[in-house]
Amino acid sequence: MMQTAVTEMFDIRYPIIQGGLQGLGTSPLVSAVSNAGGLGLITAGSFSSKEEMLEDIESARKLTSKPFGVNIALGIRKPMDEFVEGAIEARVPIVFTSGNNPEKYMESLKANGIKVVHVVPSVRFARKAESIGCDAVVVVGYECGGHPGKEDVTSLTLIQKAVQELSIPVIAAGGFSTGKSALAAFALGAQGVQMGTRFLASRETALHESIKDKLIKLQETDTLLVKKSIGKAMRVMKTERAIELLKKEEGGAALEEIFPYISGESYMELIKNGNEHSGVISLGQTIGLIDEIKKTEDIIKDIVQEYEQQLEYLYRNFNRQERSYCLVKKTR
């Protein structure tokens, strides 16, 4: 019941894709997502070198025989040429890119039979991705964890608009963590959903347990946008450190003043050691719908079951209402 252009393209059971999670999108989580029928993505930004990434790709292959891909954020942290080369060298079948335009890599990726999907925060960038030969796009709305773009448009509008204007499959991201939200995405015309925050709160992520414990207590209001002052808006978990960063930005702080809050070192201190007073971590508004840390297998089972139950509920109830309406018309 969940077969779409995306499941066919990636040869997966369910059109459920793990979002790129820096430092956390590694083989234990990636293999768990793929084994459960979704698409796991090795996050290149988790590694200091191509060689480290290749080692983790091999680890993932020992843990799953199912398809998985590599997520590469271009030009965000450092030049990523070696990681693109690594994905080709490892014969990974799928590469997701984000950040800068992937056009310079398209010829070599496609020549090696790799499906390329670009993550975009606007329809304008989605059209560009299609024009350079991307096989699909991930469209992220304002609700997403990480980078929602500069236009503050929600998923409800953005996904419909992208579907109207593109001929390649659209994957919905930003606010999706449940079966009901997946059904809504498909109703909007999307062919798949990408979930970051939902898989962040899973047993297989290498996130410190104290942060996981905090996640399940948070509400949809417990995120905020930082880094707007440097043109890279980012939705993160609302912590004292994040609030402090936001106040500095609002006060006109220079990049040198805010860098300690957003550096890779401070982020790793947060996710590995649970130090909330170090850095900030991406988090979507859909965290308000997550109240338990579960095995990835169970997360995907729950999503599929809720999707099917909600679809059945709509079919039964709307059909009943339609029949009742027709009966009333006939008796008048």
121-140 per-position pLDDT tens digit: 999 999 999 999 999 999 99
pLDDT tops 70 at residue 202: yes
Average of pLDDT values for 227-238?
A: 95
**Is residue 82 over pLDDT 70?**
yes
pLDDT of residue 322: 56
Which range has the worst mean pLDDT, 166-170, 277-281, 322-326?
Answer: 322-326
Residue-level pLDDT at 321: 59
The answer to whether residue 195 scores a pLDDT higher than 50 is: yes
Assign 3-state DSSP to the chain and report helix, strand, coil percentages, each to 5: 50, 15, 35
78, pLDDT greater than 80: no
Environment class of 154 (CB within 10 Å of its CB; exposed 0-12, middle 13-18, buried 19+): middle
* pLDDT above 90: residue 79: no
* Closest among 22, 267, 9, 45 to 138, alpha carbons compared: 9
- Per-residue pLDDT band for 318 (boundaries 50, 70, 90) equals confident
Q: Can you list the alpha helix ranges (DSSP code H) found in 188-295?
A: 197-200, 209-215, 240-250, 255-262, 264-273
Give per-residue pLDDT as tens, 126-181. Answer: 999 999 999 999 999 999 999 998 889 999 999 999 999 999 999 999 999 999 99
Residue 250 and residue 226 in contact, taking contact as beta carbons nearer than 8 Å: no
State the Rg of the chain over Cα. Answer: 20
Q: In this predicted model, what pLDDT tens digit does every residue of 85-119 receive, in sequence order?
A: 999 999 999 999 999 999 999 999 999 999 999 99
Mean pLDDT of 27-40: 98
Q: Is residue 324 over pLDDT 60?
A: no
User: For residue 246, what are the contacts with CB-CB under 8 A and spacing of at least 6?
Assistant: 224, 225, 226
CA distances from 250 to 142, 246, 277 (A): 20, 6, 19
What value does the mean pLDDT of the chain take? 94
Residue 216 exposure: Cα atoms within 13 Å on the Cβ side:
12
How much is the pLDDT for 2? 85
Cβ atoms within 10 A of the Cβ of 91, count? Answer: 10
Q: Which of the four pLDDT bands, split at 50, 70 and 90, describes residue 327? A: very low
Phi, psi for 16 (deg, rounded to 5): -120, 120
β-strands 136-140, 170-173 pairing: parallel
pLDDT at 297 over 90: yes
Query: How far apart, in whole angstroms, are the C-alpha atoms of residue 188 and residue 285?
Result: 19
The mean pLDDT of 206-216, rounded to a whole number, is 97
User: What is the predicted pLDDT for the residue at 328?
Assistant: 46
- Give the Cβ contact number of residue 249 at 10 Å: 18
With a pLDDT cut of 70, the percent of the chain lying above it is: 95
* pLDDT value of residue 8: 97
**Vertex 49, ends 45 and 54: CA angle to 5°?**
90
C-alpha atoms less than 13 angstroms from C-alpha of 4 in its C-beta half-sphere: 22
Give residue 76's pLDDT: 56
